[in-house]
Amino acid sequence: MAVSLPNVLVLKPTPFITLLGEQFFASKKFTFLKAYDSPLPLHQFLSTHSHSIKAILSSVGAHVTADILQLLPEVGLVVTTSVGLNQVDVPECRRRGIKLANAGHIFSDDVADLAVGLLIDVLRKVSASDGYLRKGLWATKWDYPLGSKLGCKQVGIVGLGNIGYGVAKRLEAFGCSVSYCSRKRKPFVSYPFYESVSELAANCDVLMICCGLTDQTHHMINKEVLSALGKEGVIVNIGRGAIIDEKEMVRCLVQGEIAGAGLDVFENEPDVPEELFAMDNVVLSPHIAVFTQESFKDLRDLLVGNLEAFFTNKPLLSEYED
């Protein structure tokens, strides 16, 4: 007699699932229910399977709301493909006693690498000079503007968690001076600490956004902060797009009130402000900081490990704590 396996709800396909393909769904210990493959409206699909769904696999853009949870009384775990949980109604999960597991620290090195790469690209004009060469301008004229040295820069990091600290250590190796702003002072570092993001921006050449998106950090990088950063300042964001007031940042870039930006995230993804496309002092990437072969394999192992741990009543591998 066949044993009925517990069901894990997958709300939407993700780049992670697409790139890994069907091998991700090959577990013999639980079954993935793909809501996005069903012809039924989501509400009807969830109602049909309400008592068989024990866990949810969530991703950026696949929101786990109180309304969804209300239809799924048996859910005991939400596991995410991301580090941040701003797509999950965390208070409602806590109220219902639902456990949470995120991507832990497996992306930290990849994101820190890209953050530094974006900064180098902006300062040394790597992408811009690539375009200059491909247009045939190298052979016809020599009027390319000078780049800027990385090693002497004062870099302010917003959010000194695992990613922010990884960025700091990498930039130290380049000879940069690091300071930071975080929810609280970190006792294990000697970098100068600023309680105010505006004060941090006023005392650095580069502002690196490495924090998560919360109600408190939404549009935290506003007109005041960008003005404090100043005309020679560069901003890099590998956190979440809505941490920056995007319209204000675009205005500052257009009017030359800040010197440049390196952006992996945007406020209304996948929509990107068109004004940015023509700017040689702005480097853009499509939210790919975690996209490496190694990190995707590690994420697959972590997701499956968390689900297996949950269904066998063992401690989660990367349980999220507020």
Measured between alpha carbons, how far is 50 from 183 in angstroms, rounded to an integer? 39
Strand order through the sheet with 282-284 = 177-181, 154-158, 206-209, 234-237, 260-263, 282-284
**Is-contact 210 114, C-beta < 8 A?**
no
- Which residue among 240, 246, 248, 267 is the active-site one? 240
Contacts of 239 (CB under 8 A, 6+ apart): 158, 159, 209, 210, 211, 212, 213, 217, 265
**Is-contact 97 78, C-beta < 8 A?**
no
* Structure token pair of residue 231: 């005309």
- Give DSSP secondary structure letters for 136-204: T-TTT---PPP---STT-EEEEE--SHHHHHHHHHHHHTT-EEEEE-SS--TT--S-B-S-HHHHHHT-
Measured between alpha carbons, how far is 281 from 261 in angstroms, rounded to an integer? 7
The answer to whether 219 is a known catalytic residue is no
156 φ/ψ angles, rounded to the nearest 5 degrees: -105, 125
* Structure token pair of residue 187: 């006792």
- Which residue among 224, 269, 308, 319 is the active-site one? 269
**Residue with token string 């499956």:** 304
The answer to whether 300 is a known catalytic residue is no
- Which residue among 63, 251, 287, 300 is the active-site one? 287
**Is-contact 93 87, C-beta < 8 A?**
no
Q: Mapping DSSP to helix (H, G, I), strand (E, B) and coil, where does residue 64 land?
A: strand
Q: Which residues pair with 155 in a beta bridge?
A: 178, 206
The answer to whether 287 is a known catalytic residue is yes
Give the chain's largest Cα–Cα span.
77
Q: Which residues are catalytic?
A: 240, 269, 287
